[in-house]
Structure 1
């Protein structure tokens, strides 16, 4: 018996015996996010697959209000088309090809900065017909922006009930990743109450989308656009506030109708610094940001996704640009503050209404503790 125990101990020491995700990570949770600007270690990056909504989708007209006119016109023109069939006349490439070229450039930067990248499982039309029903295809589907389907707050992995219908089936592509990452006993993996896929939204139904959720330690900001067809709502904010309880201060932030999500108008590259469009906030600047160093942008720049970048850590920030906005102003302001900016062209994603933060879902992000952070946690 003694010999058997010795053999088992040796196998464990050599890593030849299966152990939990937590043990493999030296006692740290396998999924954890404490600050928007914490050191990014693991992230999901979206896929280039999808199908544009049909013009018959009742929510579509309201949703187009968050897009510039040229992009809204293109969305109408390509309604109901698979992205593999949408051929750009200038490049001769499909929407899918152009999206993935942008993804690969983005992923190369992330990996160069030491970030481990996960990709979802591809969702197909046949998969949706079999497991969701053919009628759901009226809403289209979209795998390029994994941010909205869930959020990681501390070691809580929360799947959201999305108000934007095109995004409701994306979560199926996350299953393998979440099943692996959430096996850690310290991770709490749960979901909001979900509603019927084709039923019109009610005001009292809780809706949350990850683009509206920004985690700043024990403070969580939740955006609420005035647009009735997309984004999070007040009932969703209240649900999150209730479910997180006294451990977190959850703050509702109302946004003008032309803004889709909070991360379109607010980015936090490091403690005390924000890129922000103040005119997008219905009730003015949130008090949590008062006294901060602010890099201000206009609503016109917001429509071209100028703000939606990704802080990798407090020294490195990934910034998108497109043919409408080179984003040199934000780049210069960040560089003046000692932050290295990594630029990536993201025009195809931007044309679909999202950018770099939208295209990512952080699984591991943790700030290096300072005295200031310690005092903020108390």
Structure 2
């Protein structure tokens, strides 16, 4: 796809092309009531312990000290991104009416990765499966509208989802950014039953095939929320992977890559959800220094560490809280 001068600010080439512009999430979360909580098996016991006193409540009200630490994590991450000259854009905060509308079912404004994604110069709004996340795009949409207008890039949305039936039976289509990994002209999309589904993948394949892309569906273990919770493409030829999470094995185009293998237990702690800033620098949680950090260092990668324990307790880490607008060489 050829870009003109106007749309050089929106383009994602791969997961590890130099990161230049990114949306970094806010820290707002009202936990669904216990009866509205669905599909929580991807959360660890530690995560469920943190949430047990917050069902039906905003974290800021139920756990103010946790809220403050959560916000500090984002501030530290933003400082690190800016250190590497990455332009950081933040969504707006939720309005009081939006919070009121989400009472009971919950609301979220804390993972920018999932409600939209960028492939090449295409901005695509996703379709979220969890009820408390279905309006997560709203605090971000003004950013996307501005980017599309300024850069003349394609901007579209997955069709509205059919949400009838029980959680695992809903037809969708569902398609979430955490499941979408870009590797030049091949797009990997995970499906575990918790987020993106086959109908969403078919829609994406039918659309992006018009622009020379292929889409590879990746069936995942039911305890894995998204593909980026089991796979990180660190640089060309190197990945961090939880092989146990891949129900049909490693995708063909990745089988010859050098790999750092991790357990399913560590994958659930979001060990693969680090963020490459380019092919030389990788961001991960300090908890994972001895498990993957030292191995990455031996392979010539500069590893930056940040404590992201609160974010991880809510089910997402560095990749989950970011969505690139510009990742490209040159």
* TM-score of the two chains, using structure 2 as the length reference: 0.93
Does residue 1:224 correspond to 2:191, yes or no? yes
**Structure 1 residues 172-215: Cα deviation after superposition (integer angstroms, max 9, x where no partner):** 11122112211145400011112377875545321011000000
Does residue 1:279 correspond to 2:244, yes or no? yes
CA distance in 2, matches of 1:189, 1:95: 36
How far 1:39 moved relative to its partner? 0.6
How far 1:28 moved relative to its partner? 4.3
User: For residue 106 of structure 2, what is the aligned residue in structure 1?
Assistant: 140
Query: Which structure has the higher relative contact order (CA within 8 Å, separation 6+)?
Result: 2
CA distance in 2, matches of 1:361, 1:198: 29
Indicate which of 130, 134, 138 corresponds to 1:168: 134
CA distance in 1, matches of 2:34, 2:50: 12
CA distance in 1, matches of 2:58, 2:254: 41
Q: Is the 8 A contact 2:160 2:172 kept in 1?
A: no
User: For residue 30 of structure 2, what is the aligned residue in structure 1?
Assistant: 51
**Structure 1 residues 131-158: Cα deviation after superposition (integer angstroms, max 9, x where no partner):** xxx3x43221111111000110001000
How far 1:77 moved relative to its partner? 2.9
How far 1:329 moved relative to its partner? 2.3
Indicate which of 84, 95, 105 corresponds to 2:66: 95
User: For residue 118 of structure 1, what is the aligned residue in structure 2?
Assistant: 89
Q: Is the 8 A contact 2:12 2:119 kept in 1?
A: yes
Q: Is the 8 A contact 1:35 1:367 kept in 2?
A: no
How far 1:104 moved relative to its partner? 0.6
Q: Give the aligned length.
A: 326
Does residue 1:234 correspond to 2:198, yes or no? yes
Does residue 1:212 correspond to 2:179, yes or no? yes
Indicate which of 58, 64, 77 corresponds to 1:82: 58
User: Once superposed, what is the RMSD of the aligned Cα atoms?
Assistant: 1.9
CA distance in 2, matches of 1:253, 1:349: 25
Indicate which of 29, 43, 60 corresponds to 1:67: 43
User: For residue 329 of structure 1, what is the aligned residue in structure 2?
Assistant: 291
CA distance in 2, matches of 1:128, 1:97: 19
User: Any stretches of 5+ residues in structure 2 without a counterpart?
Assistant: none
Indicate which of 271, 275, 285 corresponds to 1:306: 271
SS of 1:147's partner is: coil
Does residue 1:290 correspond to 2:255, yes or no? yes
Q: Is the 8 A contact 2:31 2:55 kept in 1?
A: yes
Distance 1:112 1:192, change over 3 A: same
CA distance in 1, matches of 2:203, 2:62: 39
Q: Which protein is bigger by CA-based radius of gyration?
A: 1
Indicate which of 292, 298, 320 corresponds to 2:285: 320
* TM-score of the two chains, using structure 1 as the length reference: 0.82
Bigger mean CA deviation after superposition, 175-184 or 101-110: 175-184
CA distance in 2, matches of 1:220, 1:196: 24
User: Any stretches of 5+ residues in structure 1 without a counterpart?
Assistant: 1-21, 88-92, 369-378
